[in-house]
Every structure is written in C-alpha cells, then in structure tokens.
Amino acid sequence: MNFSNPNFPKNLDIHPSKPQSSSIDLGDAFGSLAQEEAIRQYGIAGRVWEAAYLITSYLQNIHHQFDPPLISSTSSGDLLMIELGSGSGLVASTFTKVLSLDSRKFCFIATDLPEVCPLLESNLQRNQRKTDLRVRPLSWGNKEHVDAIFSEILKSTPDRRLTHIICSDLVYFPELLAPLLRSLLYLTSHPFVTSRKSAEAQTSPVVYISYKVRSLAKETAFWSAFGLWFEFYPVLFRGNTKDAVWERFGSHLDDTSFLFYARRRVESYDWPIPEIDKDLLDGVGANGTHTRKSDDTFENLLLMSL
C-alpha cells in the first residue's frame, strides 16, 4: 500500500454507496454521481462509507429516543466539535444542519489529509447556513496539525473547550490504527483537557465512533488498545411508545455496525503515551506500566450482539 497517499491503495476498486434508509437525503454533493467523480479524484476519501449513514441517522432520527442523546437538554455552553477523517463531508454537513437548529453557539471543524481538504471545502461550501464550519488539515498522528488547531481555535477563545470528537468509519487499515488512536489521545490531553481535575468533572471531550465491522482480524487490535485508554459504550435507541425497549443502535442494520461513545479514563492522564506505534497498540504505557496488555470491552460487546 502506498501510504504517501493511503486513499489510493493498490488495486483500488470501489463504487458509490447508498444508505439503507430512504430517509437520508444525500443531495447533489454526496449522491452517486458526486461520489463517482470524487472517487476518481480522491480515492477512498471520495466515497461515503456505510458507518456515515449510521451516525447521520442518529443525528436526524426523530422517531426514536437515544441513550445518550448527542446533546443533553440539560447541558449548556458553547459546542466545539472536531471530526477526524471527514472524507467527502457528509457527516460534517449533517452535524452543522442539526446544530444550526440549537440555540447554543457552535464551531465544527472538519479535518482530513491536506490533499483531501479541497474536496471537503467544495462540498461544504454548498451548505448555505450561516454556521461556523471550518476545514483544516489533520493527518492522524501528526502533533503539529493538532497544535495548529489548538492555536487557532482555543487560544483565540480561551473559554471555549473541545466538547466532541467525531469519527466515522475510520477503523480499517492496520497501519493507520495506531496513528488514529494517537490523534484521539492528543485531542483528549493537555491543552484540550487542562488538568486531571477537569477530566474528573467530565469536561473532557466525548468521542463518538461510528463503525462497521469489515475484518475483525485486522480491526480488533484498535479496540483492544482503545479500551485501555477510553471507557466506551454502544449508543442505545428505542421507539417513542411507552412499551418500547432499549436496543443497541445499529442492530437493525443488515451488517454488524456500532455507534460508540467514549471518554478518556481519568487515571490515564498519568500514563506515558509510547512513541512507537506497535507499543501503543500493544498496551505499553496503559495502567502506568510497560508491560503489553489489552482490553476486552469490544470483544464482550461483540459477543452480546450475536
């Protein structure tokens, strides 16, 4: 695979996707014709991947209750959200449409590789709503990109903190799993989280990960390491009737898909983050030790979903 541009792996053969639900409107920017053109120019980033439809359904669904909801009715304060691997921008576009109906101020930062940002900018310019929607480069594992976002956004508005991190269909290539986890650790560490005390007050960002299982043999390593640093749970949903029962959101789909929400483990702020990718995936540094270890949260959730 050519990781100078991971969006064009060898023998790439992909085609436009369609949502299983007819309630999701892709519009001109994300429909089949637009995806075909974007795939030719941007490869993997030009396709709308299936887990994007799951999280957009979560955002737009008015026929079900969710636990947790994206934004609690009891919460207050401005919202600052960053999406990793935004691709063509469907999720970012949907978020801004939904958030524009909320009374709180918000800023949504869509990110991807520098060479993908022109696609994002082109598609998101079609969003005519007056919203604070920005496109910025953020290569996974790149500390300079993360620092640049902090300098631009947070230092200019000291009272604003990062509230949400959004990930949709990002767990796939084994070579990218450690850089993805490293970026999540960067964004949930100082200066985005100012202190252990603030983390204990649950002001650390909440992470949403929309995920479709494709190859457990290749993908489980991410979850085994992720669970050491983050507590994570599946989003639940139920109908609006009195006798409705809670189910895992995604269990209604033909494929095995999850929408997880997560927060950094408070104790993890005292742990050293290893510099070597293999060590990070093998659990080195977690629990404050240099031994190799793993977390079984994902395996247990997968067994429960069978």
pLDDT value of position 278: 98
pLDDT value of position 165: 98
Q: What is the CATH number of domain 52-219+230-277+297-305?
A: 3.40.50.150
pLDDT value of position 130: 65
> Which residues are registered as beta bridge partners of 222?
none
pTM of the model: 0.94
**Residues of the chain below pLDDT 50:** 1
CA–CA distance, 118 with 251 (Å, rounded to integer):
35
* Cβ 90 vs Cβ 98: under 8 Å: no
pLDDT value of position 229: 99
Residue burial 26-38, b: 16+ Cβ < 10 Å; e: rest: beebbeeebbeeb
Dihedral sign of CA atoms 42, 44, 50, 55 in order: negative
Other beta carbons less than 10 A from residue 222's beta carbon: 22
Task: Please state the three-class secondary structure of the chain as a single string.
Answer: CCCCCCCCCCCCCCCCCCCCCCCCCCHHHHCHHHHHHHHHHHHHHHCCCHHHHHHHHHHHCCCEEEECCCCCCCCCCCEEEEEECCCCCHHHHHHHHHHCCCCCCEEEEEEECCCCHHHHHHHHCCCCCCCEEEEEECCCCCHHHHHHHHHHHHCCCCCCCCCEEEEECCCCCHHHHHHHHHHHHHHCCCCCCCCHHHHHCCCCCEEEEEEECCCHHHHHHHHHHHHHHEEEEECEEEECCCCCCCEECCCCCCCCEEEEEEEECHHHHHCCCCCCHHHHHCCCCHHHCCCCCCCCHHHHHHHHHC
Delimit the domains of the chain by residue range.
52-219+230-277+297-305
pLDDT value of position 120: 97
In the numeric block, which tokens belong to residue 90? 């469907």
